[in-house]
Amino acid sequence: MKKYLWIIVFVIGFSCKQGAETKISDTSEETSLMAGTDTLIYPEEKYFKSIKQITFGGDNAEAYWSFDDSKMVFQSNNENWGMECDQMFLMNVGEIFNDTIPPMISTGKGRTTCAYFLPDNKHFVYGSTHLDGDKCPEVPLRKNGKYVWPVYDSFDIFVADLQGNITAQLTDEPGYDAEATVSPTGDKIVFTSMRSGDLELYTMNLDGSDVKQITDDLGYDGGAFFSPDGTKIIFRASRPTTEEAIKEYKDLLAQGLVQPTEMELFICNADGSDLRQLTFLGNANWSPFFHPSGEKILFSSNFEAERGFPFNLYLIDIDGKNLERVTHGKTFDAFPVFSNDGKYLAFSSNRNNGGTRDTNLFIAEWQE
């Protein structure tokens, strides 16, 4: 995250400019836009052929593509859009929101997180606390001097149409239910739930039926995504092992809190079998997403940082080999998501923010 506490971006989960374009431009001019000392593409970023900045203010993150790659849903807390905490917004791919506001497609009540399109491209799933009240729930940032992240027990998973009308509620168990994503094959949802007493991964059908628990190790399992063929799941998890760490984890969880500063990536089959740890890097390794080939993972990490930042994007093979740095920023790059056709990468970054605390959305044309 930015030159302020990097971890704030974890909490966000996290309109067209005049003459909005109908497609992503790949002109050379797009790669050289500057603001202060920040650039859109750094010289070492060989995988980015071109790049476009989509938002210009606030915290904007977790932008996910529709199945036909024509639209994206993302969350923002941009005060200039009248937001007090994260809500969901819709955009057509190619739009830029510099001096205009995209349509909000959540209720505007409570706090939202982790929206994801359904295969019909007309509905999406997302987590929301709105049933517990209209106000934004408070966001504790520190406990006993350490950074913490709230996991609200009021989060449930809903389905809505692109006009923001809720059409279904998929979860109603006590405790946290959120972080839902949909398989590219269009048949399953994976999500994180507290229903077992710990934060574990579950799968369910698109209508909320056939719920199955697929992880059961102590620790926070979340941020899960399916592989392109739907056969595997990648996620990030904390794994407290010492007596002291286990006690701290359980004590915080009893207060609806987790400490997301030490996480590694894990991979398993879609049914939870063949679970194995993928990274052993230390610090926070998170927001993983499958490369279009299904053979690599793109993720964000601060394992090379000495003081919590920067976060950059890295590639790693699904067997844990060939770790490679992809971005070369000095602050924060995270939430990478490939388009379904594999041509573009959406991600959130502090680059080109003029030295402010803004985290914006970018779409890069991917090349190999």
Dist. CA 283–CA 259, nearest whole Å: 12
Query: pLDDT at position 12, please?
Result: 40
- Flag whether pLDDT at 211 surpasses 90: yes
- Flag whether pLDDT at 1 surpasses 60: no
Dist. CA 316–CA 95, nearest whole Å: 31
Query: pLDDT at position 306, please?
Result: 83
Dist. CA 297–CA 275, nearest whole Å: 16
For residue 215, give both structure tokens.
């992880």
Query: pLDDT at position 309, please?
Result: 85
Dist. CA 202–CA 221, nearest whole Å: 10
Nearest alpha-carbon partner for 178 in 118, 126, 256: 126
- Flag whether pLDDT at 18 surpasses 80: no
pLDDT confidence bin for 210, thresholds 50/70/90: very high
Amino acid at 279: T
- Flag whether pLDDT at 34 surpasses 60: no
Residue 39 phi, psi (nearest 5): -125, 160
Dist. CA 352–CA 31, nearest whole Å: 12
pLDDT digits (tens, 9 = 90+) for 224-271: 999 999 999 999 999 999 999 999 999 999 999 999 999 999 999 999
pLDDT confidence bin for 145, thresholds 50/70/90: confident
Of how many residues is the chain composed?
Answer: 368
Average pLDDT of the chain, as a whole number: 90
Query: pLDDT at position 231, please?
Result: 98
Residues in contact with 306: Cβ distance below 8 Å, sequence separation at least 6, in sequence order: none
- Flag whether pLDDT at 20 surpasses 60: no
pLDDT digits (tens, 9 = 90+) for 73-130: 999 999 999 999 999 999 999 999 999 999 999 999 999 999 999 999 999 999 999 9
- Flag whether pLDDT at 313 surpasses 80: yes
Residue 259 vs residue 17, higher pLDDT: 259
Q: Read off the pTM.
A: 0.90
Nearest alpha-carbon partner for 38 in 368, 285, 359: 359
Dist. CA 150–CA 357, nearest whole Å: 21
- Flag whether pLDDT at 176 surpasses 60: yes
Q: What percent of the chain has pLDDT over 90?
A: 83
pLDDT digits (tens, 9 = 90+) for 49-74: 999 999 999 999 999 999 999 999 99
Residue 274 phi, psi (nearest 5): 55, 45
Does the 6-366 domain belong in CATH 3.40.50.300?
Answer: no
Dist. CA 54–CA 91, nearest whole Å: 10
For residue 78, give both structure tokens.
């941009």
- Flag whether pLDDT at 286 surpasses 70: yes
Query: pLDDT at position 162, please?
Result: 98
pLDDT digits (tens, 9 = 90+) for 287-297: 999 999 999 99
Nearest alpha-carbon partner for 171 in 134, 125, 236: 125
Three-state SS string over the chain comes to: CCCCCHHHHHHHCCCCCCCCCCCCCCCHHHHCCEECCEECCCCCCCCEEEEEECECCCEEEEEEECCCCCEEEEEECCHHHCCCCCEEEEEECCCCECCCCCCECCCCCCCEEEEEECCCCCEEEEEECHHHCCCCCCCCCEECCEECEECCCCCEEEEEECCCCEEEECCCCCCCEEEEEECCCCCEEEEEECCCCCCEEEEEECCCCCCEECCCCCCCEEEEEECCCCCEEEEEECCCCCHHHHHHHHHHHHCCEECCCCEEEEEEECCCCCCEECCCCCCEEEEEEECCCCCEEEEEECCCCCCCCCEEEEEEECCCCCCEECCCCCCEEEEEEECCCCCEEEEEECCCCCCCCCEEEEEEEECC
- Flag whether pLDDT at 2 surpasses 70: no
Query: pLDDT at position 80, please?
Result: 95
Per-residue CA distances from 4 to 87, 113, 192 (Å): 22, 22, 28
Query: pLDDT at position 14, please?
Result: 34
